[in-house]
Amino acid sequence: MERRHFFRNFALGGSLLLTAPVLFNSCSTDDDNGGDENNNNNNNNTGITVDLTSPDFANLKTVGGFAYKGDIIIIRSSETVYIALSKLCTHSQCTVTYNSSTQEIPCPCHGSKFTKEGAVVNGPATSPLKKYDVKLSGNTLTIS
């Protein structure tokens, strides 16, 4: 009889452990997403600014150069075009770089490669890098 109680309690406990995350996430997802979407919209309206005259962004003075601002990699792809993508690989969250000769964004951790537009060239990553809008005004970039 003790053995029967053990297995019943084990099965009940295992079921609770497996369903608890689903229940908690299902309760909070709607509220959390609504709040995050509103916050993201507010951040997107104000944007992140980059002063191209700052020494921190000296690499952006030449076509093919790149720099980081927070979790964003900024690439200068032509005289007037800048691209902003998430710097975190969608496979393992490693920081990506930019190779101007191949115009690819490699991840040093597991070999994923992305185009300068963020699309996956080869895995193990399966999702593209998040892309941001970039506006150039004088010596200031606004990323949203």
What is the rounded average pLDDT of the residues 46-59? 86
Which band of pLDDT confidence, cut at 50, 70 and 90, is reported for residue 11? low
- The order of strands in the sheet holding 82-86 is 66-69, 72-76, 82-86, 131-132
What is the rounded average pLDDT of the residues 32-36? 38
What pLDDT, on the 0 to 100 scale, is given for residue 15? 57
**What average pLDDT is seen over the chain?**
77
pLDDT in tens, 84-102: 999 898 998 989 988 888 9
Which band of pLDDT confidence, cut at 50, 70 and 90, is reported for residue 7? low
